[in-house]
Amino acid sequence: MSDDDYVFDEESGEWIPAADAKKKAAAAGAVEVRDAVGNLLADGDSVVLAKDLKVKGTNVTLKRGDVIRSIRLTGDPQEIDCRHDTIKGLVLRAEFVRKR
C-alpha cells in the first residue's frame, strides 16, 4: 500500500489512510493483562501471589506472598505463564497475582 491509499474503517464509518489503519489493527491485536489491583503486566515482570493456591495435579500449595519471577504473557488477558521453584510450566490467572 502506498501513502495515497485509503481504507474504509468499519468502526467510524470513514475513509482513513492505510498507514493509520495498520497502526489501529496492530494496537487491537495487543492484549493487555492486568493483575488483581489493575496494574498492567508485561513479559519478565515479577509478581506476588495474592492468595493461597492449590495446584491441580500436585500436593503443593502456593502460599500468599510467594514471589514468582520472570512471567510470560500467553495472549489470553486472564492467564500468565510462569515457573516456580517446585513447579515447572505453571499457568496462573492474573486475578490471583499482583505486580511486585
pLDDT at 37: 94
Going from N- to C-terminal start, the domains of the chain cover 1-30, 33-99
pLDDT at 29: 65
In this structure, whether the domain defined by 33-99 belongs to CATH 3.40.640.10 is answered with no
Mean pLDDT for the stretch of residues 82-89: 88
Mean pLDDT for the stretch of residues 6-33: 83
Mean pLDDT for the stretch of residues 31-53: 93
**Is it the case that residue 73 has pLDDT exceeding 60?**
yes
**Is it the case that residue 2 has pLDDT exceeding 60?**
no
Higher pLDDT, 52 or 9: 52
CA atoms in the 13 A half-sphere facing the CB of 71:
27
What is the per-residue DSSP string for 62-90?
EPTT-EE-S-EE-SSTTEEEE--SS-SSE
C-alpha–C-alpha distance, residues 6 and 40, integer Å: 34
Residue with cell 514471589: 67
Are 79 and 95 in contact by the 8 Å Cβ rule? The answer is no
**Is it the case that residue 76 has pLDDT exceeding 60?**
yes
End-to-end CA distance of the chain: 44
State the cell numbers at 75: 495472549
